[in-house]
Each structure stands twice: as structure tokens, then as C-alpha cells.
């Protein structure tokens, strides 16, 4: 037998066709005109038996330049961080990986407690009063924050920095279009949000200002200087933050943010060649009833024992459609659990140490690359674990990355794809996984390429 799993035998197929009164599968498509149907045979291989299929899939997977075989200096939203082995052990337990949204929540105490712990950690990290049960990712969380701000302020303009991740800005614009909101982008000065442009863009119709820190270019924004500009005009201050960086940087909530969002991927979630990840969403006390998604709360039963409940559900399936804050239909509970386990095993000191390693190794790498003839650090702003490097005149980022890959390195992100003014620049990320030897070899490889 070629396969262990036979979804349908020929006898099964014949019985089903007989039941619905047709002679062959082709008869099911009789209503589709012949001239619009595909004629011929698809260009696919013959069926493979199980052993051959597994070998073929392993060969295809082996073509990926994964971070187990290559030293990665690529960030731009997904990072090669250490994932403690205990995380996979915990999330592989069937009571977690088979769990779905608790529609009968009070009998899902373990799942609710896991979500409650995630919310509590996010509040402590961000300095906010309340957090929800998670979002799809950081980009959609930012778009949802803009939507919340418009509904809360009854204003129509969202002011967003060009230093926010380009993909997040695209999602923000898509969401705003459906809500008839105006999105105004403000420019950069020295790799951070231009304060003069920010002041000029904010007015009485501004629902919110959205910034990212550390921003897409790696630079740390001066949030405390932005806050009075935003609140002075009556808008909300929305900050997208790297949660690992909050092991060192002041919490956005303590710098005046009304909403803090971000992606929990740096907290023990594998990059997995692009996702899935887990977004977080935290707000001040005044906004907690307007958050999208759900909030798990802690309570006691009639005998005084601790228990957990779904305290708030603001999605359209649970309340009147016109009262819903969002149509977000689920949370990323399994990946939120990854973040919770990571923060549990790291603790406050471990998180601070991991963040410090990112900071120190990135700055060592920046100094080392700056010493390479032809390479220049592009921005003067302080940075966390990511920085932009200008290549020599005429050097093409794509070709540089191809040669780095041949040398065993995953190179940086071509900033010219999203920022014309940074054509010929690469954005490099250095995490705690990179060793001094790897950084030195990377610098030597770049020197050989650009020299």
C-alpha cells in the first residue's frame, strides 16, 4: 500500500456519485461552459508514495536559508532571537495546542489563566492599565488602534510617522479607507520622526498620532517630546513598541501613551520564515471598554476560590453589530502562551539581560562595520538592535546579499524598497544569538564584497 491514509476509495466515490445521481465527477462541472474550463493536464508530477513525498518535501525545505544553518543579520520586523526549549515543551501539550477560543469560557480555566497571565505581563511591560487577549500581529494591532482612536475622539485624521514599519502603514491605510479616515504621513529627520513636521500636521481634527519606537530604521524615538504635542491638540498618542526593548527603555505608558501595541515575536516566538506571530494591545483605563477582541478577568467563585472569566468581549459575534469595536474574530492564544512562558522563565533580570545583549552586540557590530572601508553608518540617532548602513556608491543591496548568502550569512533589508532616500542602504539587525566571532566574520565578508 502506497499511503497510510486513504481519504476515499473508488467504491466510496462511486457510492457518492450514485447518491447524487451523476455518472462521473466531470458531470459535476456541466454547468460551467467548456470554453472557460481548463483544457489539458496540469503541469504537476505523478502521484508520489509516502516515502518519496517526504523525501521530496525535505529536499524543498532544505533550500530555505534558515537561521539554524546561516547566521542571520536580517530583522525588519522578524528577529532571530533565542527561544528557550521549555516553550516548545509547554505549547506541545495537547490541552494548549488543541484549544480554541473558549466559547464556554468558565470550563476552560487553564486556557483563561494562560491568557490572563499574558495580559498581566503586557501591562507590566508597557506601563498600561489593561491589555487584551492578543491580536493577529503587531501590524493589525496598530491599524485597530487607529480605528479605536477615531471612534473615541470622533475625529477623522490619523497622523503616522514614516518611520513606522511600511507594511503596518499599508494595513493602517487599508483599514482607514474602509472607515473613511484620512491618513497623513510625516517625514523623517536623522532617522526619527521630524518634530517640526509632527507639530505642523497635528490639529483639531487629529484623532491620533502613531509612532514606532524603536522605529523601522532601528532608531529610538523621543516619546516624551511628542506627547505634549499630541495631547495638546486633544488627540490620542499611539506607540508601537518592541517588547524586548522595553527591558531597557522606559514603558510607553509612563511617557504618556494612550495605546501601546506591538508584536510579541521577540518574546520566544520562532520567526518561522515569516509567521505566524502574536500582536499585543494595551490601553489606559479610560479606553479599556473600547479595545478590540477580549479581556480575561480574575474573580472568585461562591466559595472564594480564584477563577477566570471572559470579562469583556467587544466583537460583533458577542454583542450587537453596531456596538462592536471590531470584527477581529480570534486571538493568538497559543503564541501568546509562548510569550508568557518566555517572560516567566526569563524574569525581570533575564529580560533586562537579553535586551542588554541585543544593545551591546548591535553597537559592537555597528562600530565594526563602520571601520570597513566603503561602509558608513547612515543615521546619528540612538538605536537598540538594528541600524542602517550605507553601501559604497554603485553597490547593489541585492547583489551584496546574494554574496553574503554564499558566505553563510543572511544579510540585511534593502531600505531602498520602501524609502527612496535610502537607496543603497541595508538595515542590519543583531540579536543576542550573534556571537562576536560571527560579527567579525560578517564584517570581513562585507569588506571582501564591497572592497
What's the CATH number where 194 sits?
3.40.640.10
Helix (H, G, I), strand (E, B) or coil at 106: helix
Tell me the HSE value of 138 on the side-chain side, using a 13 A CA sphere. 31
Do residues 177 and 289 share a domain?
Answer: yes
CATH number at residue 384: 3.90.1150.10
Residue 20, in any domain of the structure: no
Residue 309, in any domain of the structure: yes
Residue 58, in any domain of the structure: no
- Report the C-alpha gap between 241 and 266 in whole angstroms: 11
Helix (H, G, I), strand (E, B) or coil at 410: strand
Question: Scanning the structure block, which residue is given the C-alpha cell 558566505?
Answer: 407
The overall longest dimension of the chain from CA atoms, in Å, is: 77
Q: What pLDDT, on the 0 to 100 scale, is given for residue 392?
A: 97
Residue 49, in any domain of the structure: no
Q: What pLDDT, on the 0 to 100 scale, is given for residue 320?
A: 63
Residue 38, in any domain of the structure: no
Q: For the chain, how many structural domains are there in total?
A: 2
Do residues 391 and 302 share a domain?
Answer: no
Q: What pLDDT, on the 0 to 100 scale, is given for residue 356?
A: 98
Phi, psi of 425 (to 5 degrees): -115, 145
The rounded radius of gyration (Å) of the Cα atoms in the chain is 25
Please count the helices (runs of H) and the strands (runs of E) in the chain. Answer: 12, 17
Last residue of a domain, one of 342, 360, 391: 342
Last residue of a domain, one of 284, 313, 342: 342
Q: Estimate the crossing angle of helix 138-153 against helix 166-178, to 10 degrees.
A: 40
Q: What pLDDT, on the 0 to 100 scale, is given for residue 1?
A: 44
User: C-alpha distances in angstroms, 374 versus 165, 381, 391, 428, 447?
Assistant: 27, 21, 7, 16, 8
Do residues 330 and 394 share a domain?
Answer: no
Q: What pLDDT, on the 0 to 100 scale, is given for residue 6?
A: 64
**pLDDT by 10s per residue, the chain, length 451:** 455 666 778 888 899 999 999 999 989 998 999 899 888 889 988 888 889 999 999 999 999 889 999 999 999 999 999 999 999 999 999 888 887 666 666 777 888 899 999 999 999 999 999 999 999 999 999 999 999 999 999 999 999 999 999 999 999 999 999 999 999 999 999 999 999 999 999 999 999 999 999 999 999 999 999 999 999 999 999 999 999 999 999 999 999 999 999 999 999 999 998 889 999 999 999 999 999 888 898 988 889 999 988 887 765 555 666 666 776 766 788 999 999 999 999 999 999 999 999 999 999 999 999 999 999 999 999 999 999 999 999 999 999 999 999 999 999 999 999 999 999 999 999 999 999 999 999 999 999 999 8
Is 328 buried (19+), middle (13-18) or exposed (0-12) by CB count in 10 A? Answer: buried
Residue 77, in any domain of the structure: yes
Question: Which helix (H) or strand (E) element contains residue 280?
Answer: strand 279-283
Do residues 370 and 428 share a domain?
Answer: yes
Do residues 280 and 422 share a domain?
Answer: no
Do residues 316 and 389 share a domain?
Answer: no
Domain encompassing residue 111: 85-342
> Which residues is 376 bridged to in the sheet?
390
- Report the C-alpha gap between 80 and 78 in whole angstroms: 7
Residue 45, in any domain of the structure: no
Residue 46, in any domain of the structure: no
Cβ atoms of 129 and 285 within 8 Å: the answer is yes
Q: What pLDDT, on the 0 to 100 scale, is given for residue 313?
A: 73
Do residues 79 and 151 share a domain?
Answer: no
Break the chain down into helix, strand, coil percent, rounded to 5: 45, 15, 40
Do residues 237 and 314 share a domain?
Answer: yes
Do residues 158 and 253 share a domain?
Answer: yes
> Which residues is 183 bridged to in the sheet?
158
Do residues 192 and 117 share a domain?
Answer: yes
Q: Report which of 289, 267, 312 is spatially closest to residue 138, judged by C-alpha positions.
A: 267
Last residue of a domain, one of 308, 342, 376: 342
Do residues 232 and 276 share a domain?
Answer: yes
Cβ atoms of 231 and 257 within 8 Å: the answer is no
Do residues 91 and 78 share a domain?
Answer: no
Long-range Cβ contact pairs of 105-110 (< 8 A, separation 24 or more)? 105/296, 105/308, 105/309, 105/310, 106/307, 106/309, 109/307, 109/308
pLDDT tens by residue, 44-74: 888 888 899 999 999 999 998 899 999 999 9
Amino acid at each position: 500500500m502506497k499511503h497510510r491514509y486513504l481519504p476515499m476509495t473508488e467504491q466510496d466515490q462511486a457510492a457518492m456519485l450514485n447518491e447524487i445521481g451523476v455518472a462521473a465527477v466531470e458531470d459535476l462541472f456541466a454547468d460551467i461552459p467548456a470554453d472557460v474550463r481548463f483544457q489539458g493536464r496540469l503541469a504537476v508530477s505523478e502521484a508520489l508514495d509516502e516515502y518519496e513525498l517526504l523525501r521530496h518535501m525535505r529536499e524543498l525545505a532544505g533550500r530555505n536559508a534558515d537561521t539554524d544553518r546561516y547566521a542571520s543579520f536580517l530583522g525588519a520586523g522578524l528577529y532571530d532571537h533565542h527561544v528557550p526549549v521549555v516553550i516548545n515543551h509547554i505549547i506541545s501539550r495537547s490541552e494548549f495546542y488543541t484549544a480554541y477560543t473558549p466559547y464556554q469560557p468558565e470550563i476552560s480555566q487553564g486556557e483563561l489563566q494562560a491568557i490572563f497571565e499574558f495580559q498581566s505581563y503586557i501591562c507590566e511591560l508597557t506601563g498600561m492599565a489593561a491589555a487584551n487577549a492578543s491580536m493577529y500581529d503587531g501590524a493589525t494591532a496598530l491599524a485597530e488602534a487607529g480605528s479605536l482612536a477615531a471612534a473615541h475622539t470622533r475625529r477623522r485624521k490619523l497622523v503616522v510617522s514614516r518611520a513606522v514599519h511600511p507594511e503596518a502603514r499599508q494595513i493602517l491605510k487599508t483599514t482607514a479607507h474602509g472607515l473613511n479616515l484620512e491618513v497623513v504621513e510625516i517625514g523623517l529627520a536623522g532617522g526619527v520622526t521630524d518634530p517640526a513636521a509632527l507639530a505642523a500636521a497635528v490639529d483639531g481634527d487629529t484623532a491620533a498620532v502613531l509612532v514606532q519606537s524603536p522605529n523601522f530604521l532601528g532608531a529610538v524615538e523621543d516619546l516624551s517630546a511628542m506627547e505634549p504635542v499630541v495631547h495638546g491638540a486633544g488627540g490620542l498618542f499611539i506607540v508601537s513598541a518592541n517588547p524586548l526593548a522595553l527591558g531597557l527603555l522606559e514603558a510607553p505608558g509612563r511617557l504618556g501613551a494612550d495605546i501601546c501595541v506591538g508584536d510579541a515575536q521577540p518574546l520566544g516566538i520562532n520567526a518561522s520564515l515569516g509567521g505566524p506571530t502574536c500582536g499585543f494591545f494595551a490601553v489606559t483605563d479610560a479606553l479599556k471598554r473600547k479595545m478590540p477582541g477580549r479581556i480575561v478577568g480574575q474573580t472568585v467563585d461562591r466559595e472564594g476560590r480564584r477563577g477566570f472569566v471572559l470579562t469583556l468581549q467587544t466583537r460583533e459575534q458577542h454583542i450587537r453589530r453596531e456596538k462592536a469595536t471590531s470584527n477581529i474574530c480570534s486571538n493568538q492564544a497559543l503564541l501568546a502562551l509562548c510569550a508568557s512562558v518566555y517572560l516567566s522563565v526569563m524574569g525581570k533580570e533575564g529580560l533586562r539581560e537579553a535586551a542588554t545583549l541585543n544593545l551591546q552586540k548591535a553597537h559592537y557590530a555597528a562600530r565594526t562595520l563602520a571601520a570597513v572601508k566603503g561602509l558608513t553608518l547612515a543615521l546619528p540617532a540612538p538605536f537598540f538592535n538594528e541600524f542602517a548602513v550605507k553601501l559604497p556608491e554603485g553597490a547593489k543591496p541585492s547583489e551584496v546579499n546574494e554574496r553574503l548568502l554564499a558566505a553563510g550569512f543572511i544579510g540585511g533589508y534593502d531600505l531602498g524598497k520602501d524609502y527612496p532616500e535610502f537607496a543603497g542602504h541595508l538595515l542590519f539587525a543583531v540579536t543576542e544569538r550573534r556571537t562576536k566571532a560571527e560579527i567579525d566574520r560578517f564584517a570581513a565578508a562585507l569588506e571582501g564584497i564591497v572592497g
